[in-house]
Structure 1
């Protein structure tokens, strides 16, 4: 089996690395640089968007971080990172909530995009406060998003919350800070974070 993660330590590749560590997978890391190897023709054949992360699992190429998380949960079922197929409604809901409304709302807020009331109807999130209220309400009723146990949905949504708290792009609500504390206590997160921090230190070195 060949499992290769194309990444950069200052990217969403950190989320994919965390997911790989949760899976207990053996994988190879290839670090690409912005403006050079990430733009090279060789990598463009893997991801024409010329961004990271990308995952190559034997002949399967997976891009987009939420898709990578969902794919790995299925590829490594022994890690128990997805509910049973018949119980995946909430799992899919929150994975794509984070990939769509949550990320779009946070990014637009960070970029200073101001939407009129009329324009809010054209975007998938309406306004950031509505998105955060929706997530806050869920986290006040359950420690995990998709059921009684941690899943890939928690990893992906939690990473978005963690980035938001780190860069002050979302409010540090108690439900969010408590959730992030639970996630960062996981050994797989700590291993992945240490590995990517070391990559950054080596590059700056």
Structure 2
């Protein structure tokens, strides 16, 4: 493993949110070291890992000595870190605002909405809710994917890695409606070779 490969370490548990970051690293062709954690065995609570991420959550990334946590922050960081892959619009690109909007929307609105729905938990009053209503979030996601084929139209980006992974999971568990636009998009994104390589790594890790 080269020195460059050692610069980035992904703390990863198979078939969790960190699988999205693993797929992005595969898309980027980025060198990285993979540190598997057995969360069921309590490895997420080890002193070594808590020193990197006090919440004990994956995904967690080390870029050199710098920890980066939170799925969307990691994806933003990596896509900018490897600009040669072309998965992030540059700051002066007109698409940058749309790219940032929908990545942050995923974390700020979509995730809270689907977690409330999955756990059958009543949302907060609309004036206090981070997402308003579940139906409004689903309508917004459908609008985001129209006309497609990607979040940025004809341009594939790190936003598609996040959204393709998210919709594949939530469709699988019936947390989002099985709309054709969601199914077609999730299938198209997760059929990419990078996703297949990430899934093979997860399968091999058990």
Deviation of the 1:185 alpha carbon: 2.0
Moved over 6 A (4+): none
Could you tell me whether the CA contact under 8 Å between 1:94 and 1:146 is conserved in 2? Answer: no
1:109 to 2:114 alignment: no
> What does residue 89 of structure 1 align with?
97
Tell me the CA shift for residue 189 of structure 1: 0.8
Q: Is the 8 A contact 1:5 1:27 kept in 2?
A: yes
Aligned to 2:194: 188
Aligned to 2:145, what secondary structure does the other structure show? helix
Q: 2: CA distance between counterparts of 1:113 and 1:121? A: 17
The CA RMSD over aligned residues, in Å, is 1.3
**Partner of residue 126, structure 1:** 132
1:25 positional shift = 1.2
2:180 is aligned to: 174
Alignment-derived partner of residue 83 in structure 2: 77
TM-score (norm 2): 0.92
Task: Give structure 1 stretches of 5+ with no counterpart.
Answer: 201-205
More deviation, 155-164/91-100: 155-164
CA contact (8 A) 2:168 2:187 kept: no
Distance 2:158 2:146 in 1: 19
The C-alpha deviation readout for 1:52-110, integer Å capped at 9, x for no partner, is: 11111112211111011111101111111011212200000000010110010000000
Unaligned regions of 5+ residues in structure 2, if any? none
TM-score normalised by L of structure 1: 0.92
* 2:168 paired with 1:199: no
Q: Single out whichever of 26-35 and 55-64 deviates more from structure 2.
A: 26-35
Which residue pairs with 1:154 in the alignment?
160
The number of equivalent residue pairs is 198
Task: Confirm or deny that 1:36 pairs with 2:47.
Answer: no
